[in-house]
Amino acid sequence: MTDDTYNGHPNRETYMFHLHVANDEYLQNLAHRTTRAVLANCVDPFPSYVGEHVVAAIRDAINEEADSGYPPAREFALGALRDIGSFWRIDESHVGAAMLRDVAEIDA
């Protein structure tokens, strides 16, 4: 049996998603705000539910920047889109579990 993980993540797309979120303050804050919003509306959400919302928020923000007329933001967003590749391959459960841990640690 082969190990399909990529640097401790389920696949390359999930790893690249985490890499961009962890290294960009705006994306990281957006991910944490989105996680807190889900927690405010759900008593005990599944990690996949949290991840679904976080991935959608980040995807929308990156796509909006890619369409912007501001060159630095556009360049960053296009690089992120290139690096991440397919958003549909991101493991939302993995993302959600990581965001729940992050927010719990920050808010403790």
The verdict on residue 4 lying in a domain is no
Residue 37: inside a domain, yes or no?
A: yes
Instruction: Say if 101 falls within a structural domain.
Output: yes
Residue 36: closest CA among 102, 92, 93, 95: 102
User: Is the full-model pTM beyond 0.85?
Assistant: yes
Residue 80 placed within a domain = yes
Length of the chain: 108
Q: Which domain holds residue 69?
A: 12-107
Is 42 within the bounds of a domain? yes
Has residue 41 been placed in a domain? yes
Q: Which of 76, 85, 100, 82 is nearest to 27 (CA)?
A: 76
> Coil, strand, or helix at residue 9?
strand
Per residue in 32-69, pLDDT tens?
999 999 999 998 999 999 999 999 999 999 999 999 99
In a domain, 5, yes or no: no
What Cα–Cα distance (Å) separates residue 94 from each residue in 13, 47, 65? Answer: 12, 7, 25
2 found inside a domain: no
Indicate the number of domains in the chain: 1
Judge whether residue 4 has pLDDT over 80.
Answer: no
> Please, which residues have CB within 8 angstroms of residue 95's CB and are 6 or more apart in sequence?
14, 17, 18, 47, 50, 51, 54, 55
What is the structure's pLDDT at 55? 98
The pLDDT, as a whole number, for residue 43 is 86
